[in-house]
Copies of this chain bind each other. A is one copy, B any other.
Amino acid sequence: MNILIIDPLSENTICRLKKIKSVKIDYFPNINETDILEKIGQASMLIMRTSHIFTEQWLEKAVQLQAVIIAGSGIENVPIDLLEANNIIFKNVKEASVTSVAEYAICLILMGLRNVYQGIKSIGEGNWEKNQLIGNEIRRKTIGLIGFGNIGKAIASLLCNFDVEIIYTNESGRVVGYDYECVELKELAKRSDIICIQVPLTNRTYQFINNDVFSNVKRDCVLINVSRYDVIAMDALIEKLKQGIFKHVYIDPIEKRHLKTISEFKNLPISFLPHLGANTYEAQERVGEELIKIMIDLETKFNFLCSLP
């Protein structure tokens, strides 16, 4: 059987997958849409992350496909119902990226407060702009966490000695065992000096950070999105950026397909990143471990021999 892999996995993981008896690994970490459509017809299993969206056209071509595995936690780019209706198994890797994303969120929060990017850039251009780059401490500020699942909890935990106030919103209400204050989204917007978004993308979170939220944020708020591009109504955000409401905004989850749309944000206090939140060697290794476990679970179903260490 053929396993088609269309996003990067760690070298070690690829090496282990190749050891599985009676499978052929087609590893194309930089594949484009046209080539996916050409190759998906031969695949019995597809392993992917977030770079591509699994479309109905893929499904039409995928005549041999029996399983789709997402090597990550976000699953919004795959039509799970449609897969299940076609008897295609769907699995994903949870948890593996939590630490990487949480540490990264702390990095972006501090960068937003301290003008670090602007400082490096200006020095690189031969200018010394210290006096225009006065920042803020995080100490004694209010951090509003939108989403209080594993990543939200991990961010709060990392901040434990930073002397900050943490408040959060959570779809299913207050989380037992945590002393932080659970509030409504509107109140979070009103009170937070820093807002950090870490929710899965679903029908309910699609563009749910919109004008209703932005019209309540404090002036000079720092906004961080380590979730998915589409949780923010970007049309509403650009207006607020033009009004000078935000000190700085960091949007991490930029995929190739977003590059065109973000050009209109030039010269505004916003920075985009190529979805680096979970992009660490450590997270990739853990993803690999989980992936191998999923393969072992699927062993009898697919009639291959994992024989993995």
Show the binding face of A for B, using Cβ within 8 Å.
8, 29-30, 99-100, 103-104, 106-108, 110-111, 113-117, 119-124, 126, 128-131, 133-139, 157-162, 254-256, 259, 262-263, 271-276, 279-284
Contact = CB atoms under 8 A, between A and B. Distances in A.
A99 B100 CA distance: 24
A100 B163 CA distance: 13
B114 A117 contact: no
12 contacts: A8-B131, A99-B139, A117-B120, A119-B273, A119-B274, A123-B271, A124-B272, A133-B274, A134-B281, A137-B282, A158-B161, A161-B161
Contact of A110 (B103, B137, B162): B103
A274 to B, nearest CB: 4
Number of copies: 2
Nearest to A117: B120
A111 B119 contact: no
A282 B99 contact: no
Contact of A160 (B137, B161, B273): B161
A135 B278 CA distance: 9
Q: Lowest 4 A-B CB distances belong to which pairs?
A: A107-B110, A130-B274, A119-B273, A137-B282
Contact of A117 (B117, B136, B263): B117
B126 A116 contact: no
Contact of A107 (B111, B161, B274, B276): B111
A52 B133 CA distance: 19
